[in-house]
Amino acid sequence: MTKRMKIILFILVIPMLLLGFNTETSEIITIMLSGDSHAVSALSKSSLLLILLCTLLLMTIQNLFTIIPLILLISVNISLFGFAGGYLWSWIVSIAGAVVSFFLTRFWFQDFFGKFVDDRLEQKIDDNGFWFVFIGRVMPFMPTSVVNIAAGISSVRFMKFFLATVIGNLIYFFFLSAISLGILSIPWENGIYLALAACGLIIYLIIKRKRKKTLTLESSSSEYQTEEF
């Protein structure tokens, strides 16, 4: 299975790298990263497939290294496809980029990145897989690449990672899209970030408390059965 996944990842990643060296692709990417809204809007006359592939490539890079501002990529998509289309496409390619990053880490770089992660931290990620990823997605100060790599080196199941990414990015990207379009003005931006961080923290504390109660009840029940026996 591991060998098969490495081959599949190789087949997926190499064409994306080659795409980046294409002259037309390089020009489109340069315009997208320039932040010039008029130049980006003019790209709508280019090949739709090529534009979609370029935005997918940029979002994958963002998920691997977090060197491109996320709000810039969302703004580009909204300029090209409108609010609804840009929001949904940003959400879709972010999930695709996260999945690629997760599998690359797990099947190619797990041993390498594992050296830099404390065993206790890795255990905590294993125990709270879904919530670690979900809170990481809605916390504005948590780099996407860190979440992907941390989940990849742990034993978090892919479906938990996937679902947490789908739900978390759906929420977070809506707010970033609204800010990008100007529905939410810039002065509100820090407040929204703090609100998202607070919500994530509250959800985590609630889940942690419930889990603690459940474990306590299970422990009490186990002790009672032992005494009865």
Quickly tell me which residue has 């742990």 as its tokens: 154
Quickly tell me which residue has 């422990």 as its tokens: 219
Helices 70-107/2-20 angle, 10° precision: 150
Q: Positive or negative, the Cα torsion across 126, 127, 131, 136?
A: negative
Domain ranges of the chain: 2-228
Q: Which residues of the chain have pLDDT under 50?
A: 184-186, 224, 226-227, 229
Rounded (5°) CA angle 8-108-150:
115
Phi, psi dihedrals of residue 186, rounded to the nearest 5°? -55, -40
Q: What is the pLDDT of residue 39?
A: 84
Q: What is the pLDDT of residue 224?
A: 44
The pLDDT tens digits of the residues spanning 20-68 come to 666 777 888 888 888 787 888 888 777 788 888 889 889 988 998 888 8
| pTM across the whole model | 0.74
Whether residue 59 contacts residue 97, with contact meaning beta carbons closer than 8 Å, is answered with: yes
Q: What is the pLDDT of residue 89?
A: 94
Q: What is the pLDDT of residue 163?
A: 92
